[in-house]
Amino acid sequence: MKIRNRITVYFALITAFILVLSFSYFYIHFSSFVEESFKERLKERVTFSEKFLLELEQLDGNERKRIEKEFYKKLDSEIELAIPIADAKNYFKNSPDWEFLRQEDIIRLINQQEYYFVSKKLQGASKQYQINDKAYVVIVAAENKQGIKFLNQVGYELFLVFVLSVALIAISSYLFSSNILKPLSEKIKKANAIGINNLDERLVVHSEKDEIGKLAKAFNDMLDRIEDAFMIQKNFVRYASHEMKNPLAAMLGEIEVTLQNKRSTNEYITTLKKIETQIERVNQLIDNFLKMPTKETIQKASIRIDEVLFQQVLKWKMLYDEQEIDLFVDEKLEEKDLYQSLDLNLFLVAFDNLIDNAVKFGEGSKIDIKLYKQNHLIVSISNRGRTLDKKEADFIFQPMYRASNAQEIEGSGMGLPIVKRIIDVHGFILNVEVKDDLTTFLILF
């Protein structure tokens, strides 16, 4: 069942349940009120009947008829009786008008001063009187036709209100839920349209404060992760198959040439070393692809950037003791600015690649590493030497891309793409600036 239909059914059921309880409570109490009102009228009729039947005996017939016509308005199906208590039991046994009375009712109206009873459709009341030293019981019984008719009408109207209310709530709930869920339906339609060929598309997030906005954002985040994994896989297949073709062809050629004739031990060793070189190249290529991080693989911690840079500079100075590497840390930086949330191991790889790149293309020139703040905390790594062509600056972060100044330098074309990837998954920015013979890489935290 669709959520829209489910909401409609739930609201209709809840409304029906509340109305049933409310209307039942009202009907039961109103029924009790009607019954009590009729009971009071019966008591009034008993009092009037006592006066009319017992106290007005001295009046002549015409006067009694006049009073009866003027004041004696009977109830529906009313029967009345004023009888000495001593004669009551025998009278009720032989009177067909009062055969509806149960034996227990007869005993109680004889023994009790006042009594109220309900028997079949009739309701009745009795009261005992003492007149001229003689005990009488006055009984009045009638059918509450008007009350029952009124109750039936009320019940009918309550039923109509119930049906109309439930229908109105159901229609309103359907329209309301349709309007509320419309953005969700549109997002479902959009999500279903996203496939391999348009993984870069995302759902529109109007507000991250409501549940639909949070759902859309979570879906977009999931698409980011899927796209990352897909692109890594796609690039690996595409670039690896292209780059592996040359070393594999070279190895196959070396083996075929070697196997054509018998060779000396030194020749076999030379061939194996060439094959080893090609295997190392393939191994490095695969290793570079495996280093491509995703948002799920990073393990962030609060790291002090200046300490990391200091350790990296010491390491590279030990590797290249003749290479001049200077580290400048702005003294105006506050300690809180130096701490950043990042994956230390990944950033060590990024710094290693950038410094290694500066060493390779610097051709022995000084490498300047600076840490300062300019709106962002910035790490810059600069070198002079083999200058990057400005037109190629936009392409150097693509996997396997080899700029014109890198043709004579050994490499796989994966170092800078890995650095770019590491910076991107952390949400930081990596830029490159080229000015004359100075190339500068900037990381903006």
Residue 141 CB neighbours (<10 A): 25
Domain end among 290, 320, 347: 290
More confident: 288 or 37: 37
3-state secondary structure 77-146: CCEEEEEEHHHHHHHHHHCHHHCCCCHHHHHHHHHCCEEEEEECCEEEEEEEEEECCEEEEEEEEEECHH
Domain end among 107, 124, 149: 149
More confident: 41 or 227: 41
Asked whether residue 190 is domain-assigned, the answer is: no
Domain shared by 113 and 7, yes or no:
yes
**Among 337, 302, 403, 324, CA closest to 369:** 324
Domain end among 129, 149, 169: 149
Domain shared by 225 and 272, yes or no:
yes
Residue 243 has pLDDT above 70, yes or no: no
| Vertex 358 angle, CA 354 and 362, to 5° | 175
DSSP three-state, residue 345 = helix
Asked whether residue 117 is domain-assigned, the answer is: yes
Asked whether residue 202 is domain-assigned, the answer is: no
Tokens standing for 299? 């393990």
Contact 330, 372 (CB under 8 A): yes
User: Which runs of consecutive H residues, i.e. helices, occur in 298-409?
Assistant: 305-319, 335-338, 344-362
How much is the pLDDT for 81? 86
How far apart CA 189 and CA 81 sit, in angstroms, is: 82
How much is the pLDDT for 47? 83
How much is the pLDDT for 289? 62
Average pLDDT, the chain: 81
In the chain, the number of structural domains is 3
How much is the pLDDT for 284? 67
Contact 195, 167 (CB under 8 A): no
How much is the pLDDT for 211? 80
Burial class (CB in 10 A: 0-12, 13-18, 19+), 126: buried
The pairs formed by 427-436 with CB atoms below 8 angstroms and a separation of 24 or more are 429/376, 430/397, 432/388, 432/393, 432/396, 434/387, 434/388, 434/389, 434/390, 434/393, 436/387
More confident: 21 or 279: 21
**Predicted confidence (pLDDT) per residue in 358-372, tens digit:** 888 777 788 999 999
Residue 141 has pLDDT above 60, yes or no: yes
Asked whether residue 138 is domain-assigned, the answer is: yes
Q: How far is CA 219 from the centre of its chain?
A: 12
CATH of the domain at 273: 1.10.287
CATH of the domain at 331: 3.30.565.10
* pTM listed for this prediction: 0.48
Domain shared by 11 and 141, yes or no:
yes
Residue 65 has pLDDT above 90, yes or no: no
Which range has the worst mean pLDDT, 152-156, 277-281, 321-325, 425-429?
Answer: 277-281
Domain shared by 22 and 67, yes or no:
yes
DSSP three-state, residue 342 = strand
Asked whether residue 154 is domain-assigned, the answer is: no
Confidence of residue 74 (pLDDT cuts 50, 70, 90): confident
Residue 345 has pLDDT above 90, yes or no: no
More confident: 281 or 344: 344
DSSP three-state, residue 30 = helix
Which range has the worst mean pLDDT, 24-28, 114-118, 382-386, 408-412?
Answer: 408-412
Asked whether residue 26 is domain-assigned, the answer is: yes
Confidence of residue 373 (pLDDT cuts 50, 70, 90): very high
- Lookup result for tokens 């039947």: 53
How far apart CA 27 and CA 94 sit, in angstroms, is: 40
Domain shared by 230 and 124, yes or no:
no
Contact 326, 381 (CB under 8 A): no
Domain shared by 227 and 97, yes or no:
no
More confident: 67 or 254: 254
**Range among 66-75, 204-213, 301-310 rated most confident:** 301-310
More confident: 239 or 25: 25
Domain shared by 407 and 350, yes or no:
yes
Confidence of residue 344 (pLDDT cuts 50, 70, 90): confident
Residue type (1 letter), 414: M
Domain shared by 284 and 384, yes or no:
no
More confident: 58 or 252: 252
More confident: 373 or 246: 373
Domain shared by 275 and 390, yes or no:
no
Which range has the worst mean pLDDT, 118-122, 152-156, 329-333, 412-416?
Answer: 412-416
Range of the domain at 105: 3-149
Check residue 198 and report its DSSP letter.
G
Domain shared by 267 and 387, yes or no:
no
Check residue 397 and report its DSSP letter.
T
Residue 350 has pLDDT above 80, yes or no: yes
Asked whether residue 185 is domain-assigned, the answer is: no
Asked whether residue 205 is domain-assigned, the answer is: no
Residue 404 has pLDDT above 70, yes or no: no
Domain shared by 246 and 307, yes or no:
no
Domain shared by 365 and 253, yes or no:
no
